[in-house]
Structure 1
Amino acid sequence: MTERPSAGPGSPVAGPASEQVIEFRGVGLTYPGPPPVAALRPCDLTVARGDFVAVVGPSGSGKSTFLNIAGLLDAPTAGTYLLDGIDTGALRDAHRTALRGRRIGFVFQSFHLLPQRSALENVTIALVYNGVPRRERAARAREALEQVGLGHRVDALPTRMSGGERQRVAIARALVTRPSLLLCDEPTGNLDTANADSVLALLESLHADGMTVLVITHDPLVAARAARTVTIRDGVLSTTRPTAYEVTV
């Protein structure tokens, strides 16, 4: 398997991180018609380093579009998106992919773990294409599993783990690349109440340690755990809780 080289000092994805992890300047996305569909109307949004933000809204509101733009999976059709101070619209596809791999850790509702691979192996996989030397991968993966409270389960298969443990492995896999942003899409959607509470407590702990966490959810109880909440409805972004952070439409 070919390893992707890490970004060097002259790469557009290298360099010091900005104090603003996410900065939307008039960012929007319209799908071409006929008729055109404004999935996300132009908006401004700032997420500072160390923030914990929940993005809420009903099905079809534009949450998935927001996630895809913030996660560099889709490019906006309007405005400028800066991730860690880097203008993502100015990057070629290969550099956008590298930036996503280095600066964003994804956690999804479905755990997306390989069932016949141990927890350690599932976490290590995230480092294969991230420019981390082979000799460092196992130690990094163990460290990430320790961080989520699973240092004693490194050899366990996902099929022998609870839903909460599997989501913790998925979070460790997201953390192992040491990202600037932990981007979570309905992270408790497949969990019972006890396991959901445990995962949310873990996200709160990671936030307390300085991690920038952004959670996409339809669940108000999940959103209540965040430091601030943003709502999307019919493609329009707005605040739902007064804060010192500015979100304009």
Structure 2
Amino acid sequence: MTADVADRAAVPVISFRGIGLTYPGPPPVEALRPCDLTVDRGEFVAVVGPSGSGKSTFLNIAGLLDAPTSGTYALDGIDTGALRDADRTSLRGLRIGFVFQSFHLLPQRSALENVMLALVYDGTPRRERAGRARQALTQVGLGHRVHALPTRLSGGERQRVAIARALVTEPSLLLCDEPTGNLDTANADSVLGLLDTLHNAGMTILVITHDPLVAARAKRTVTIRDGVLSVSDTAMSQVEP
């Protein structure tokens, strides 16, 4: 391992220091109270909590979709609060891959074309896009379905396309919001197995979920309740649901 690679591996992917978000009133709403959190490279972390607890606020801050009203957020060692809006958008596109409950695939585009779209905005030369998209689809087990339309794919396959689209830019963080929420049991287990494989290969994964079976796959748990974040170092698989 070179010194540069070793140095990068030592830098947390996510570092929250006093991060909070209060929506202006009247009355003001403290959606996420000031908190600290570190997610190291290669971790698989689940964020759990009831509806309205602050999970969506946490997701939006971690994903650079919303700016916190207090504290500092470093992504890959980069102080995101010091960036201009355009630079934050660029950093989000380069360093974070998003996977949502709804797959957000274009129905009239093939699996390959849907994945290629992620490369349009990151400066990848046109001649390289198809090859990289095909490689990402192969990585998620869909190398044989590159030309299929989403309407011809199962729910699990559509989510795999969405994961390939998130991976194709080689992000530092895979940020998943209820990734199995629209899937039946068999497809959900297949997608969770894929997340396990990605984590074992070194991907940093953060999953927002209300499902204890999904959270059980993570190695560490963050709980949010009434805007208060707490961290457990015990894997959910060792905790009673």
TM-score interval w.r.t. the shorter chain? over 0.9
Q: In structure 1, give the amino acid aligned to 2:176.
A: C
Q: Distance in 1 between matches of 2:63 and 2:102?
A: 17
The answer to whether the 8 A contact 1:18-1:84 is kept is no
* Structure whose residues are more often helix by fraction: 2
Q: Which of 141, 145, 148 is the equivalent residue of 1:153? A: 145
Q: Distance in 2 between matches of 1:39 and 1:143?
A: 40
User: TM-score, normalized by length of structure 1?
Assistant: 0.90
Which whole-Å deviations, capped at 9, do the CAs of 1:126-148 have from their partners, x for residues lacking one?
A: 00011100010000000000000
The answer to whether the 8 A contact 1:30-1:38 is kept is yes
- Residues 118 and 131 of structure 1: CA distance in aligned 2, closer, same or farther (over 3 Å): same
List gaps (5 residues or longer) in structure 2.
1-7, 236-241
The answer to whether the 8 A contact 2:17-2:72 is kept is yes
Which whole-Å deviations, capped at 9, do the CAs of 1:24-83 have from their partners, x for residues lacking one?
A: 000000000111000000000000000000000010000000000000000000000000
Q: Distance in 1 between matches of 2:234 and 2:130?
A: 43
Q: Which of 12, 23, 31 is the equivalent residue of 1:20? A: 12
Q: Which of 116, 121, 124 is the equivalent residue of 2:116? A: 124
Is residue 2:164 matched to residue 1:199? no
| SS of aligned partner of 2:103 | coil
Structure 1 residue 202: deviation in Å? Answer: 0.2
Q: In structure 1, give the amino acid aligned to 2:223.
A: T
Query: What is the aligned partner in structure 2 of residue 220 from structure 1?
Result: 212
| SS of aligned partner of 2:144 | helix
Alignment of 1:82-231 (within 5 A): 82-231=74-223
Structure 1 residue 18: deviation in Å? Answer: 5.7
Q: Distance in 1 between matches of 2:129 and 2:203?
A: 21
Is residue 2:22 matched to residue 1:36? no
Equivalences, count: 229
Q: Distance in 2 between matches of 1:138 and 1:21?
A: 28
Query: What is the aligned partner in structure 1 of residue 72 from structure 2?
Result: 80
Q: Distance in 2 between matches of 1:28 and 1:218?
A: 21
Q: In structure 2, give the amino acid aligned to 1:205.
A: T
Query: What is the aligned partner in structure 2 of residue 8 from structure 1?
Result: none
Q: In structure 1, give the amino acid aligned to 2:113.
A: E
List gaps (5 residues or longer) in structure 1.
1-15, 244-249
Q: Which of 203, 215, 235 is the equivalent residue of 2:227? A: 235
The answer to whether the 8 A contact 2:219-2:234 is kept is no
